[in-house]
């Protein structure tokens, strides 16, 4: 097949979370080439006529959509699949509607609640209704990649407003507060495979030699500074299916329900916190998870016996009519 790997238009001085898209695009193209496909790469352009011309020029059988940001904003990522669908070219990944719904985290949490999926309580500006006396984590409402997440993101209720304002002033966008669950963290990778849904081996993020006073969160530094203490001490562990089958069944069920709720396609990651009573709570659904070779999705696929090339080829096949 002829596959066009379409990625975000990332400038050379972009932050590491954006540059990761280029790393993923190169790895995907190499994996496809190793399987005998003709793999091309191009940057997305948010101009309909120019995008049509780009598609005509490359004439792909399928587009591998790696557009995670547009103009540096993850909240605009839905424009890429929307425009590709208008052009009529097959593409990997989920559609614009699901990206919009999951990309607005408070909205997604309301949908979780309506569907009966457990999620931590939360509060939003301007009224901050429902703000409890618990500790909260202040998060971006519409951006991913752990933007603005560090130890200071976990605050007492009386500090929520000030933290949200400081983040809005620094990063822009909308910010909200979610009740902080001082428990275990799981990232569940889900793959559309051979016409069905496949929950890959479940990853728990463990915090090794972590100071007791520090919040247990996988923040921006942990994700994007490989030499940092935070990165080297947040360790991905597998094997919960054998050690704790009841908890694994609950995580699997909730992940499948979240997939169905948003009618996802291709790949997704469902993030959980498990509280002290062993109750899983859905934090968010990411229908556009990182798929670079060193990312969690590829690690889960490897534990399922899939090579990186296997994974990429299956994502492409799921996109074909």
The list of the chain residues with pLDDT below 50 reads: none
Residues linked to residue 94 through DSSP beta bridges, in sequence order: none
pLDDT value at residue 16: 85
* pLDDT confidence of residue 146: 86
* Arithmetic mean of pLDDT over the chain: 95
Residues 232, 152: contact at Cβ < 8 Å? Answer: no
Which CATH number, 3.40.50.300, 3.10.150.10, 3.40.50.10470, 3.40.50.20, labels domain 2-93? 3.40.50.20
101-105+110-116+183-319 matches 2-93 in CATH topology: no
Alpha helix locations (H) across the chain?
16-34, 48-58, 79-87, 96-103, 105-115, 160-171, 220-224, 229-233, 240-243, 245-262, 296-303, 308-319
Q: What was the pLDDT predicted at 194?
A: 85
Tokens 């291709």 locate to 266
Distance between CA atoms of residues 202 and 308, nearest Å: 17
pLDDT at site 188: 98
Tens of pLDDT along 124-142? 999 999 888 899 999 999 9
Which pLDDT score, from 0 to 100, does residue 234 have?
Answer: 94
Write down the domain spans for the chain: 2-93, 101-105+110-116+183-319, 118-179
CA angle 5, 219, 6 (to 5 degrees): 5
In words, the CATH class of domain 101-105+110-116+183-319 is alpha beta
Report the share of the chain in percent with pLDDT over 70: 100
């Amino acid at each position: 097949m002829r596959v066009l790997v379409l990625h975000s238009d990332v400038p050379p001085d972009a932050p590491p979370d954006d540059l990761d898209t280029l790393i993923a695009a190169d790895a995907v193209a190499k994996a496809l080439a190793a399987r005998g496909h003709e793999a091309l790469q191009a940057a997305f352009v948010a101009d309909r006529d120019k995008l049509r011309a780009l598609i005509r020029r490359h004439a792909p059988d399928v587009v591998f959509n790696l557009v995670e940001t547009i103009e540096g904003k993850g909240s605009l990522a839905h424009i890429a699949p929307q425009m590709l669908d208008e052009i009529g070219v097959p593409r990997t990944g989920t559609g614009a509607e699901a990206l919009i719904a999951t990309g607005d985290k408070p909205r997604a949490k309301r949908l979780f609640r309506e569907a009966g999926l457990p999620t931590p309580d939360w509060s939003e500006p301007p009224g901050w209704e429902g703000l409890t006396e618990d500790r909260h984590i202040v998060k971006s409402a519409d951006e991913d990649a752990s933007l603005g997440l560090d130890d200071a993101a976990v605050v007492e209720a009386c500090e929520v407003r000030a933290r949200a304002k400081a983040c809005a002033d620094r990063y822009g966008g909308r910010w909200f507060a979610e009740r902080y669950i001082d428990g275990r963290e799981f990232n569940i990778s889900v793959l559309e495979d051979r016409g069905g849904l496949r929950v890959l081996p479940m990853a728990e993020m463990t915090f090794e030699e972590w100071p007791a006073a520090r919040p247990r969160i996988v923040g921006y530094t942990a994700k994007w500074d490989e030499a940092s203490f935070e990165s080297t001490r947040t360790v991905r562990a597998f094997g919960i299916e054998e050690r704790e089958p009841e908890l694994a069944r609950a995580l699997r069920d909730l992940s499948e329900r979240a997939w169905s709720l948003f009618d996802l396609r291709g790949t997704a990651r469902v993030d959980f916190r498990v509280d002290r009573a062993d109750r899983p709570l859905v934090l968010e659904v990411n229908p556009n998870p990182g798929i670079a070779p060193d990312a969690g999705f590829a690690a889960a696929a490897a534990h399922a016996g899939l090579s990186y090339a296997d994974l990429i080829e299956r994502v492409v096949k799921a996109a074909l009519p």
